[in-house]
């Protein structure tokens, strides 16, 4: 009985992991772009991690880094070849050129912090 219960629990956990991390949507904290929007870099996540941005005009994002660990030191937009070193406990400006519509990921160097710009 115990054996069966442990096995079922294990399999349910696996199913939950697969569902939560891979199948369920990731857009937990989407936000519309505004000049005063700040992206908080803290505890392993960008908040908001999804930013809706207007297409066709240059914008400036503000990243406020509250995580002093080196993991959070850089924000990298790999598709745009843009990266910026983030100062701790301060907002750092990241200027982006006018973008075409589409999705542009941004991450830390190690790709543990993850976010997406949704240009529309």
Partner 1 sequence: MPEQKQLFALSGVSCAGCVRKIEGAVESVPGVSEAKVNLAEKTLTVVGNANRERCIQAVENAGYGAAPAKEDPRKQREQQKAEDLRHYRQLLWRCGFALALGIPLMAWGLVTGEMSVHTPAQQLAWGVVGLVTLAVMVFCGGHFYTGGWKAFRHHSANMDTLIALGTGAAWLYSMLVVLFPGMLPEAARHVYFEASAMIIGLINLGQALEVRARGKTSAAVEKLLELQDTSARVLRDGEEVDIPLDQVQPGDRMRVRPGEKVPVDGVVRVGSSLVDESMLTGEPVPVKKSEGDYVSAGTFNKNGTLIFEAEKVGAETRLSQIIEMVRAAQNSRVPIARMADQISAIFVPAVMVIAIVAALVWFNFGPDPKAAHMLVVLISVLIIACPCALGLATPMSVMVGVGKGAEHGVLIRNGKALQQASDLDTLVVDKTGTLTEGAPKLTDIETDLDDNELLGLLAALEAGSEHPLAEAIVDAAKDKELTLAQVEDFEAITAHGVRGRVDGKVVLLGNRKLLQRENIDPGKWPARAEALAAKGRTAMYAAVDGDAVGVIAVADPIRDDARAAVARLQKAGLRVQMLTGDNRATAEAVAKQLNIDEVHADLQPEDKETLVAKLQREGRKVGMAGDGINDAPALARADVGFAIGAGTDVAIETADVTLMRSSLHGAADAIELSRATLRNIKQNLFGAFIYNTLGIPIAAGVLYPFTGALLSPVIAGAAMAFSSVTVVSNANRLRFFRPSQVKGVQS
Contact residues: partner 1, CB under 8 A? 3, 6-7, 10-11, 13-14, 17-18, 20-22, 24-26, 28-29, 36, 38, 42-45, 49, 64, 68-71, 73-74, 76, 78, 81-83, 85, 87-91, 109-114
> Measured from the CB of residue 32, what is the shortest distance to partner 1 in angstroms?
16
SS3 letters across 2-54: HHHHHHHHHHHHHHHHHHHHHHCCCCCCEEECCCCCEEEEECCEEECCEEEEC
Alpha-carbon span 56 to 50, nearest angstrom: 18
Helix (H, G, I), strand (E, B) or coil at 98: coil
Instruction: Give the residue with the Cβ less far from partner 1, 56 or 89.
Output: 89
Alpha carbon 20 to chain centroid, angstroms: 16
Tell the smallest beta-carbon distance from residue 39 to partner 1 (Å): 12
Nearer to partner 1, 64 or 118 (CB): 64
What's the DSSP call for residue 111? S
Nearer to partner 1, 54 or 68 (CB): 68
Closer to partner 1 by Cβ: residue 54 or 70:
70
Minimum CB separation of residue 56 from partner 1 in Å reads 23
Pick from 63, 81, 60, 80: which is nearest to 72 by CA?
63
């Amino acid at each position: 009985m115990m054996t069966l219960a442990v096995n079922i629990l294990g399999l349910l956990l696996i199913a939950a992991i697969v569902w939560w991390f891979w199948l369920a949507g990731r857009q937990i904290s989407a936000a519309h772009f505004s000049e005063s929007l700040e992206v908080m870099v803290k505890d392993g996540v960008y908040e908001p991690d999804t930013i809706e941005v207007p297409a066709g005009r240059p914008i400036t994002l503000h990243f406020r880094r509250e995580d002093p660990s080196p993991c959070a030191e850089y924000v990298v937009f790999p598709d745009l070849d843009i990266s910026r070193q983030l100062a701790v406990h301060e907002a750092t400006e990241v200027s982006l050129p006018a973008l075409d519509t589409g999705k542009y990921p941004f991450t830390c160097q190690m790709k543990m912090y993850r976010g997406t710009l949704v240009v529309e």
